[in-house]
Amino acid sequence: MTRPVGTGSRRASVSAVPAGERRLQDPEARREHARALAWHALNRRERTEAELRALLARKRVAPEDAEAVVRELVGAGFVDDARFAERFAEDRRRLDGWGAERIEQRLRALGILVRRGYPLELAHDALRRYAGVPEPD
């Protein structure tokens, strides 16, 4: 037996917008959702700012919410591209035997250091230090 629309059916009392979409219309709920996605990613491994922004974009987080969450995490020290680059360079050199050029290429692909306005020489110093190359005079 079918019921006429609006006569006691449960759906008639609920708005036409699905629950998940209603929840994400609230700005604070959207921001909290973005935060949860970011923390889930960071709990797996350390990420760069660029990686985190890309991940949030793939999850369809609004750009302004993604930016706000990334800024929060950077400000609190949970996301730090310079620290990531140093650890990455050290690990790739020590554990995988990568050379400085390969490390630099991978860091560039990850979108850090040179892209973020760090002086190119800072990136090279970090790579030289972990590669065991003496600093120039």
Q: What is the pLDDT of residues 45-57, one digit of tens each?
A: 999 999 999 999 9
Contact predicate 84/48, CB 8 Å: yes
pLDDT tier at 13, thresholds 50, 70, 90: very low
Q: What share of the chain is helix, strand, coil (3-state, %, to 5)?
A: 65, 0, 35
From 69-78, 97-106, 125-134, the region with the lowest mean pLDDT:
125-134
What residues have CB less than 8 Å from 62, skipping those under 6 apart? 30, 34
Domain ranges of the chain: 17-75, 81-131
Residue 46 in tokens: 């350390």
pLDDT digits (tens, 9 = 90+) for 20-79: 444 568 889 999 999 999 999 999 999 999 999 999 999 999 999 999 999 999 999 999
